[in-house]
Homo-oligomer: A and B are copies of this chain.
Amino acid sequence: MSTLNTHPAALSLLVTGSLGIDTVSTPSGQAADVLGGSAVYFAYSAAQYVPVRVVGVVGEDFPAALRDQLAGRGLDLAGLETRKGSKTFRWHGRYEGDMSQAETVEVSLNVLAERGPMVPAAFARSDVVFLANTRPTLQRELLAQVRSPALSVCDTMNLWIATERDSLLKTIGVVSGVMLNDGEARQLSGESNLVEAGEWLLALGPRFVVIKKGEHGALLVSPEGPVAVPAFPSREVRDPTGAGDSFAGGLLGYVASRGRVDLPTLRAGLIRGTVAASFTIEDFSLRRLEQLTRPEVDRRVQQFIEMLRFE
């Protein structure tokens, strides 16, 4: 993206995850057949900080309009495979009440249930890698195609904790960091206290764990002790879809832009991740992120930092 004012030593950033077609209804309204998927939310958020390399697969039914929409964000789509004879991932979800949990009305894995995408040769040297939620074996296969990244981070979900626990533990053993939500952290560790859940995960090998708590913020657990941040207090919450992946994108996009993968930079990334998520949920699908400018992001980052400054 020519408009990006990146740090001279900015790191390259790669995301692997889903690209799909979502239909979402919330108390604020409904959006049908819109762009969605973990890799997309991550990439749109991270793209505020650095160019983003996307690895994923869609079916040949992927609409030209959504493809144009993606292409307009300046993402590097060299790793986006359009698979002949396959259909794109579709998700239909609904949020009610406090919107803390999506109810899946219908899901069609389609191409996501087939073999995974490949990391193209041009992306084999990527410094920071985010493995969005998918089957843990596939996460390891994808990571193995990148030559010793400086930072690799995986997400996961309740399904794999229940059905592929051993494989998931293997994946956690080979990444630098884990990001998952509070329910998943508790389910996986068996610890109800989140600091203890994070420390349980640390003992498996990663350098840090970020536990996402939705409207309650996030918790970074590392050998330097826990760091808790609240969510940005928002009045406008129209559609929480993609908040977690936007959080990861803001965090790792910022880290990559700083050219450093140390804990102080990850810590500062918590603020950028939180702010990215706070924009995402203000409108359906990628609408808010598409209109978002870097000055708007920076203003809210400053506002959030000020809100957390106490004497």
User: What is the interface of chain A, defined by CB distance below 8 A to chain B?
Assistant: 27, 97-99, 186, 192-196, 199, 213, 215-217, 219, 226-235, 237, 267-268, 270-271, 304-305, 307-311
Contacts of A199 in B (CB 8 A): 235
Residues of B within 8 A of A304 (CB): 310
Q: Write 23 A-B pairs (CB below 8 A) sorted by A numbering.
A: A27-B192, A99-B192, A193-B234, A193-B235, A194-B215, A194-B233, A195-B233, A195-B234, A196-B235, A199-B235, A213-B216, A216-B216, A217-B228, A217-B230, A228-B231, A229-B230, A229-B308, A267-B310, A268-B311, A271-B310, A305-B310, A308-B309, A308-B310
A230 shortest CB reach to chain B, Å: 4
| A216 CA to B281 CA, complexed, in Å | 20
Stoichiometry, copies per complex:
2
Residue in B213, B228, B309 whose beta carbon sits within 8 Å of that of A309 in the complex: B309
Residues of B within 8 A of A98 (CB): 186, 192-193
Shortest beta-carbon contacts, A-B, top 9: A228-B230, A226-B233, A216-B216, A308-B308, A98-B192, A228-B233, A195-B235, A230-B230, A271-B310
Q: Are A237 and B307 in contact (CB under 8 A)?
A: no
Please, which residues of chain B bring their CB within 8 A of the CB of A231?
Answer: 228
Complex CA gap A195/B236 in Å reads 9
Q: A271-B310, A304-B310 are in contact. List 8 more A-B contacts (CB 8 A).
A: A98-B192, A226-B233, A227-B233, A227-B307, A230-B230, A267-B310, A305-B311, A308-B308
A216 to B230, CA, bound (A): 8
Tell me the complex Cα distance, A186–B228, Å.
Answer: 24
A217 proximity list for chain B (CB < 8 A) = 216-217, 228, 230
